[in-house]
Each structure stands twice: as C-alpha cells, then as structure tokens.
Amino acid sequence: MENKLVCQLITQLANTVKAQDHELDEKLDKLTRKIVSSGSYHGAASELHAILAYLDEHTVGLKPAIAEYEEKANNALEKLQKVQGLSHSMHDDIRSFLSEPAPSSLHDHQERLLEVIGFYQETLNTKEKTNPDFLRERNQGEEKPTAEMDPKVHERTCDELQRLITELDFAGEFGEALSRVRSQLLNGVEPQALPAICLKIINLIIDGTREERKASQAFLYSLNESLSSFHYSFNSSMSETRGLHSDQQNLNDELKSHIKTMGLQIDSTHDLLHLKLSIQGQLKEINKLLETREDFESKEKELQSRLSQMEAKLKLMKEETSEYKKRLSSQKHKLFLDSLTHVYNRAALDERLELEFKRWQRYHNPLCLAIVDIDFFKRINDSYGHMAGDKALKVIARALQKSLRDTDFIARFGGEEFVILMPNLDSEDIAIPFQKLIDTIKAIPFKFKDNKVSITISIGTTLFKEGDQPLDAFERADQALYDAKHQGRDQVVISL
C-alpha cells in the first residue's frame, strides 16, 4: 500500500509542475518512467536529487549575468564623468554610486540601472538649460541645426507609439500610466518631446516587466521550497518504510521459528510437565513478538498519516500551479489581443498569416487577404476628440468581427486599419462578403456631441496566387486599398 501511495504522489507531482521548464519536464518524465517500469519507488532518490539540484541552479545562474550588466552600467557612468560641464554634486553622486557594492539580486541591479538612466537624463536636462542647442552640436563642436522632422514621419511615429501601447497589457499603475502617455500622443506632441516620451514608455515597460517577473520568481521560489520539503519528507518516509519492512520480516521469521520449535517439541517430548514448561516459555516469547508487532503497526499508521499529509500538500501545490497556469494562459491570450478594440493585434496576425499561408501551400484552397481602412478617420478625431475616435474604432471592430464567418480572422493592423483573412473564398464570390461589411458599417447610427455621423470604410482585397509570398499578397491588397481611396472611398477594389 505504501509503495502504491508513494508512486501515486510522485506521478501527481510530475503532472503538477509540468510545462514550467522543458529540461525539468525531461527529468520528471525520466523519474516517472522509472517508477512506472519498475512498479516501485525504490531507487528513485537519485532522480529526485538531480531535480532538486537543477532547481537550485536557476538561482546560481543569475549572478554572472548581474555582474556582466553591472560592469556595463559602471562603464557607461565612467564615460559620463568625462562630459564637460558636469556639476560637482553630479560628480560626487556618480563616484558614490560607483563605490557602492555590487548588487546581489536582479531587483537591486534593475534599481541601479534606473539610477544610471536618471544620471543621463539629469545631464541632458542640465545641458539643455545651459545650452539649448546642445543636442544639435556635432562631435567637432560645430553648431549645425538639424533638419526639421517631416510632419508625415512625426505623425507615423506617434501612431506607431500609441499602437505599441495598445498591444501592451500591464495591470495597475503601469497600465494607467501607459494609457495617459497614449492620450498625450493622440492629442499631439512636438517632435522634440518624442525622445522623452520614448524614454518614459521604455521605463514603464521595464517596471511593468519587472513586476511580472517578481510574481513569476516568487512562484518558482515557492515551488522550489515545496519540492525541497517534499524531497526531505519523501526520503525520510522511504528510509522508515525500508526499516519497518526489514523489522517486520525479522519478526515474522522469529514467529515462524518459535511455532516450528513448539511443533518439534510436541512431536519429540513425552514428558508432559517438561512439554508444558517449554510451551509456556515459547508462548511468552511469541507474546513479546506480538507486542513488538503492535508497535510496528502503530509506526505504520503514523507513516501512513505522514504520507496522507504529503498527499494533501501535493494537492494544494497542484491547485496553486493550476491557478498559475490559468493566469499564464490568460496573459498569453491577451498578448495577441488589441487592448482597445479587443480584436487580434499585429503579432497575432503574423502568426495566423503564417499558418494560413502554409495551409494554402499544402492544400491549394483559396485564401483571401483584405485591408480595411476607415474613411476620413482623422476628421473624427479632430472634430470630436480622440475618445470619440476610440469609440468608433471599438464599434466598427465589433461590427466587422460579428459579420465574419467563424473560420475568418480579423486583426487591427494599426491606427484605423484592419486586416482580414478569409480561407476558402472563391474569386467569383469575393465581392459579396466585403460589400456586406461596407453596408453594415455604413448603417451604424454614430452620434458624437449630438451630431449624427455616417462612417464608411474602404477595402482592398486579393487572393493568393501561384508563386506568392505573404508580402506579395499584402502589397496587392494595399494597392487595391489605395485605388479604392482614390476612386471615391466607400467601396471595395479587388486585385486578382
């Protein structure tokens, strides 16, 4: 019974921690295969030692990486010290920073990196105050004014930044801060403000990622401690089980010996008095052995109780791991969703397009790609504000999604553009579903600031053809969309 229970515990443990780490999975598979093939847990301690050593290795591997990045951070500050015009207090702060002991944890190292960024930011701010043209100077010290940023490039950069923010999914203060930055970008920023905004976005991404990493590390450390405790209890239980098994075997051997001796005495002795005394002596010994057996049974019950506690602890670990897996699955799903419209994002589009392209190459079933653009979307933002624009994007995305088949795929490509993939759509039927989309969006009764607004869409679409790569089809659909825009909008243009 003990053997079966321990084997069951080990198997459940392997299933509980599965899919956390590839190499750990292999070690656990090796352990469970050995137990299943032998039908016993004897000899499994060496595999458990190997698993425990591997878990300990994770924490050891952090130290070299921290040392390498710390060296790079110190080199960056040493170069900063050579910049002319630094204040004495700045020099003192940098020297003090460099004299501090190296960080012992990843968290401390990240905090120091933020301080390094702060030193550079403070230096730039000081230089700009004392010399507004500081950023325009060249290495030779000549003052050559930089060319003005092209308005279209500036607008596209702002659009890409705010699109990037919509693809991030940080909860709490970091998500709220990124949302405020996106609002700032939508309301318009000067070109010279973009570097500071980019730096702010990077810092928020670093901070948000660090918080998520902390949560993951806390779970792994907790799992490591639980495994260590289980390993100790498992070894102790195995040792005690082997001892009990050996003692019980010896006890049984002694009982058999006494019974055998009594039988021989009965057969060979004719003196009843002598036989009585001899049997009484044997019965006393047997009685002592039975008392010892009761002690063994008590210890066995205690061992079974400990194994039950281990099973309960393992069940709790399984529940915690299951919950963590659900959270990871939810986060993975959110990584592929556009946080504003809740349709798929560009990352999901790349993955799905690759999958559909491979299916098209293999089975040669028709595959349609379409680009949808909201007509005069900038006018909505300019006339009614970006909140109205966001609302329109959400409504249109939901309407497009509801109008598609289950096998179709839609993703927000950026700004006011969406990409649709439609498998198994023949060339003679290609116009029908897209005209339906155009009519559906046109029929939506938008209302902003008590004004009724009609919104239309333009669509460019194509079918994959022999020799195509995904980019070829995308460029044809993009050209078809361009033609739809220049032919009056509110229409679909097909490029075959």
Distance, in Å, from the CA atom of 159 to the CA atom of 213, rounded to the nearest integer, reads 29
Distance, in Å, from the CA atom of 432 to the CA atom of 430, rounded to the nearest integer, reads 6
Tokens matching residue 395: 């409504």
Distance, in Å, from the CA atom of 41 to the CA atom of 394, rounded to the nearest integer, reads 58
Distance, in Å, from the CA atom of 433 to the CA atom of 420, rounded to the nearest integer, reads 11
Four-point Cα dihedral 352, 355, 361, 363, nearest 10: -100
Is 211 labeled as catalytic in the residue annotation?
no
Distance, in Å, from the CA atom of 448 to the CA atom of 442, rounded to the nearest integer, reads 16
Could you give the angle at the alpha carbon of 144 between the alpha carbons of 143 and 148, nearest 5°? 135
Question: What residues pair up with 434 in beta bridges, in sequence order?
Answer: none
Distance, in Å, from the CA atom of 39 to the CA atom of 31, rounded to the nearest integer, reads 12
Which amino acid type is present at position 423? P
Which amino acid type is present at position 466? E
H helices of 169-271, in order, are 172-187, 194-268
Secondary structure letter of residue 467 according to DSSP: T
Phi, psi of 418 (to 5 degrees): -130, 150
Among 23, 416, 417, 466, which one carries the catalytic annotation?
416
Distance, in Å, from the CA atom of 51 to the CA atom of 27, rounded to the nearest integer, reads 7
- DSSP for 41-67 reads -TT-HHHHHHHHHHHHHHHHTHHHHHH
Secondary structure letter of residue 337 according to DSSP: B
- Calculate Rg over the CA atoms of the chain: 37
User: Can you state the angle between helices 386-403 and 431-442, rounded to 10 degrees?
Assistant: 140
Report which secondary-structure segment, H or E, holds 63: helix 62-81
Could you give the angle at the alpha carbon of 361 between the alpha carbons of 359 and 363, nearest 5°? 60
Q: Report the 10 Å Cβ neighbour count for 471.
A: 8
Tokens matching residue 95: 């020297």
Q: For 104, left (φ over 0), alpha (ψ -120 to 50), or beta?
A: alpha
Query: Which residues are catalytically annotated?
Result: 416
